[in-house]
Structure 1
Amino acid sequence: MKEISCKLLVIGGGPGGYVCAIRAGQLGLDTVIVEKARLGGTCLTVGCIPSKALIHAADEFAAVRAMAAGGAPTGITVAEPAIDLARTVAWKDGIVDRLTLGVAGLLKKARVKTVTGHARFRDGKTVEVDTETGPQVIRADEVVIATGSAPVALADLPFGGDVVTSTAALALTALPGRLAVVGAGYIGLELGTAFAKLGAAVTVVDVAPRILPAYDAELVRPVAARLEALGVRLLTGTAVKGFRDGELLLESDDGGATSVAADKVLVAAGRRAALEGWGLEEIDLDMDGPFLRIDERCRTSMRGVYAIGDVTGEPMLAHRAMAQGEMVAEIVAGHDRVFDKAAIPAVCFTDPEIVTVGLSPEAARATGREIRTASFPFQANGRAMTLSAEDGFVRVVARADNHLVLGIQAVGRGVSELAAAFSLALEMGARLEDVAATVHAHPTLGEAFAEAAMRALGHALHV
């Protein structure tokens, strides 16, 4: 049996794991990364990146269909469009391939050794990896667990056949005529919206009383209106009881039974930490509910063992994992680092998009502080008008006493690209006056940020 030793072993080649390994290699640490499938993990290969590619293709197709129907406000008309979904999927897969090869190249450049196979702990310093050429033992001074997450399965709706995960939905080469989406969170609505724009009849089912329960009702309202315009049927307060003979069996919260016809059922009921099958019982780490418990340096309860990303709990976001991975590499290299982020942005790539950073008005009030909050509508923004994207707004939340910005939210077309500005404002400790006094380029959607701050200060200019 082959054996190798290293300073740092990273288990999992997703965003957190590969960033950790690259940074460790840059710092001169002898580093090995183990990935059982493809480098890039869920986000790059079957999640964030391919889903955004499909969403973009669906947006393009929907725009052309509107032009063909004479509904484009720009006056452009075209012949009746068609889409070759197999070609779309091939284009999406090409993007994934390029990025995966890019990650492999970056690891090689940083002199990180990549081992392909499934790792299992023997003890806190040793893992055995099942590779194509046989078992490989790796001994390390420090270990990082970055095994990510997996889709949650429902007892009454096991995966298989026409009941699919988001991974399988992103690989479909033929458009289902009728798609039922179980789960009205961001994954279900992002993909449900995309398939509706491609021409599928989409029904979204969720046991919760409303869609996108992680976001406040004001942010969700424009998304719900767009779903209605697209013909997406929403069944909230409804539980799923099974799928038989092309019928999704349902029960409403008042006990009424019904069903929805579906060619495919996409289950998007959340994700769980991927903790099984890694031999974690051999090292007996402390848990925080269903997740690994970590401190502000991502240290677990065992010395020399770190954990990052989805296995450590919410928010289960790729960019959080990346930031944790970079920090852990620097800690192992001897740097003094802690994870002390003022804000981690969250983006929902629905139509329109939602971005949130920091505290919502409700969460800010719950701290007992007096707050100021104000919104600026895109209906009063020139750039939004030229994009025919007037639905939505930017909202700021600040302390009433010193005007320190506590949170920023937005809903509208393309607002995901404002996430960096929003996050920077919170990380730099900006006050309303700082945002209002910053010269924003005109005409841009970003002007709504400054205008919202001005409005909170009582001197809005354009509304």
Structure 2
Amino acid sequence: MSKSISCQVLVVGAGPGGYVAAIRAGQLGLNTVIVEAERAGGTCLVRGCIPSKAMIHAATRFEEINSHVDEAKLGIHVPQPAQLNMGKLVDWKDAIVSRLSGGVEALLKKNKVTRINGWAQFSDAKNCTVDTPDGAVSIAAEHVILATGSRATELSSLPFSENVISSTEALELRELPNHLVVVGAGYIGLELGIAYRKLGSKVTFIEGTDAIVPLFDQELTAPVAKWLSQHDVEVTYSARAQSVTDHGNSEGATLTYTDKNGIEQTIHGDKILVTTGRKPNTHGFGLENMCLDMDGPCVKVDKQCRTAMKNVWAIGDIVGEPMLAHKASAQGEMVAEIISGLKREFNPAVIPAVCFTEPELVGVGLTPALAQAQGIETKVGKFPFAAIGKALTMEAGQDGGFVRVTARKDNHVIIGIHAVGAHVAELSNQFATAIEMGARLEDLANIIHVHPTLGEATMEAAMATLGHAIHI
């Protein structure tokens, strides 16, 4: 039986952009409906950020335990190697996802957001129909927030199949592949490839460029490249994937590619993981009926996330790079507040980026090279974790990690902070806060940092930029 409802705000998609927009709208007293066909949480919570970090944690724990087998490392000896049960690992990961997804559902309910289970189909910019398990629901909205996210890019030459998989399937494997071939050494491929190497798989990367994680410069990625080399992970650079043959069942698949010299090569793997990027979800919900302007494959928006259609907004991955959950959440919160009458604009000084490789990578603001390209004269300094006491006590000081600070030469305003090292993701918020608030080198250098902590490297890096680091 069909029914019709109306609302002030209709949010399409319950990912980190959509559910935050809906919760904030509910807090502001707006009559809000959110439509989602799957579990609340979107790609990030259900099949991206959260499950991948759970797998990375489990893989790291597994590797650490086995590091105590042959010798009494740290005075701890494990008499025999740990055994891996991939099925139970996946079950544990899924339990975390379910708990967090349920938490999002509870928050939506707490803030009086109506949740409709299904996929919206728009007939025009403000009206859609949702086929739910209980029948069709027609929704008329004053404001529409599109938060439909993105999906893994499928290459026509490498179609997904049983043994040719995306990151989604890589997080669901209940048997460890003997050999995992990863097409693309960007952040998604590296995170998952390193995790599987720690779990015991042989891992090979086929990368189209001449560097890993091109988002970060070579000085930052050098410790990651060193880890790959030390753990017998082969990276074939400047290679172009051409085709793939899936042999089915447990026979794996064979990838054909051309190397840097244009010579055709083949490589066989139990699984071929394709991680060549993501693209916005703009099909399947009637976007063509909404009269919106596009910016290539993305919905075009202004600094308030307004589209070309009045009172239709778009946030998150659907509006383009950077495709990061925290960007989507910030935009969702902002749009809800604008709809309620508050004055807001999306104009952050920086959007932090983190890659959970081994070791971790953090990028906030401009690199020295990007600053130079913009004609900015800079002062640059860095400080190694090898000189940080807390890092050494955590076995985190010998991986080549460091914090690097980039500031304007004339006034010492900090325009970039980058780091590589164990657990540096936890420093990213300090980096972003410093730049967003216009901190100068003297500010970071003179703030008393707790000892012993990894964060002391930020203070020392600022001092190094000024020419007087204490501990090197």
Report the TM-score when normalising by structure 2: 0.97
Pair 1:408 & 2:409 matched:
no
Pair 1:132 & 2:130 matched:
no
* Counterpart position of 2:145: 144
- CA deviations 1:187-220 (Å, max 9, x no partner) are 0000000000000000111111111111100000
Q: Give me the whole-angstrom Cα distance separating, in 1, the residues matched to 2:39 and 2:224.
A: 34
Pair 1:262 & 2:269 matched:
yes
2:257 match: secondary structure: strand
Q: Give me the whole-angstrom Cα distance separating, in 2, the residues matched to 1:228 and 1:371.
A: 33
Q: Give me the whole-angstrom Cα distance separating, in 2, the residues matched to 1:134 and 1:223.
A: 52
1:171 match: secondary structure: coil
Shift of 1:69: 2.7
The alignment of Structure 1 onto Structure 2 pairs a total of residues equal to 462
Pair 1:300 & 2:307 matched:
yes
Shift of 1:75: 3.0
- CA deviations 1:83-129 (Å, max 9, x no partner) are 11111110000000000000000000000000010101111110111
1:374 match: secondary structure: strand
- CA deviations 1:9-40 (Å, max 9, x no partner) are 00000000000000000000000000011100
* Counterpart position of 2:183: 182
* Counterpart position of 1:279: 286
Q: Give me the whole-angstrom Cα distance separating, in 2, the residues matched to 1:348 and 1:272.
A: 19
* Counterpart position of 1:11: 12
Q: Give me the whole-angstrom Cα distance separating, in 2, the residues matched to 1:417 and 1:22.
A: 26
* Contact kept? 2:403, 2:458, Cα under 8 Å: yes
Deviates more, 1:229-238 or 1:179-188: 229-238
* Counterpart position of 2:331: 324
2:345 match: secondary structure: coil
Deviates more, 1:247-256 or 1:163-172: 247-256
* Contact kept? 2:360, 2:425, Cα under 8 Å: yes
* Counterpart position of 1:378: 385
Shift of 1:243: 2.0
Shift of 1:330: 0.4
* Counterpart position of 2:40: 39
Shift of 1:232: 1.0
Structural mapping, 1:379-398, within 5 Å: 379-390=386-397, 391=399, 392-398=401-407
Q: Give me the whole-angstrom Cα distance separating, in 2, the residues matched to 1:40 and 1:387.
A: 33
Whichever residue aligns with residue 460 of structure 1, its letter is A
- CA deviations 1:31-52 (Å, max 9, x no partner) are 0000011100000000000000
* Contact kept? 2:4, 2:137, Cα under 8 Å: yes
Pair 1:419 & 2:420 matched:
no
* Counterpart position of 1:442: 451
CA RMSD of aligned residues (A): 0.9
2:68 match: secondary structure: helix
Pair 1:253 & 2:254 matched:
no
Q: Give me the whole-angstrom Cα distance separating, in 1, the residues matched to 2:197 and 2:77.
A: 21
The one of 365, 368, 389 aligned to 1:358: 365
Structural mapping, 1:144-183, within 5 Å: 144-183=145-184
Gaps (5+ residues) in structure 1?
none
Whichever residue aligns with residue 360 of structure 2, its letter is E
* Contact kept? 2:67, 2:73, Cα under 8 Å: no
Pair 1:368 & 2:369 matched:
no
* Counterpart position of 1:232: 233
Q: What percent identity do the matched residue pairs reach?
A: 53
Shift of 1:73: 4.2
Report the TM-score when normalising by structure 1: 0.99
Q: Give me the whole-angstrom Cα distance separating, in 1, the residues matched to 2:218 and 2:324.
A: 22
The one of 440, 446, 468 aligned to 1:459: 468
Q: Give me the whole-angstrom Cα distance separating, in 2, the residues matched to 1:19 and 1:154.
A: 32
Structural mapping, 1:20-31, within 5 Å: 20-31=21-32
Shift of 1:229: 1.4
Gaps (5+ residues) in structure 2?
248-252
Whichever residue aligns with residue 28 of structure 2, its letter is L
1:74 match: secondary structure: helix
Q: Give me the whole-angstrom Cα distance separating, in 2, the residues matched to 1:255 and 1:366.
A: 32
Q: Give me the whole-angstrom Cα distance separating, in 2, the residues matched to 1:18 and 1:364.
A: 36
Whichever residue aligns with residue 236 of structure 1, its letter is Y
Pair 1:206 & 2:207 matched:
yes
1:108 match: secondary structure: helix
Whichever residue aligns with residue 215 of structure 2, its letter is A
* Counterpart position of 2:250: none
* Counterpart position of 2:347: 340
Q: Give me the whole-angstrom Cα distance separating, in 1, the residues matched to 2:163 and 2:240.
A: 19
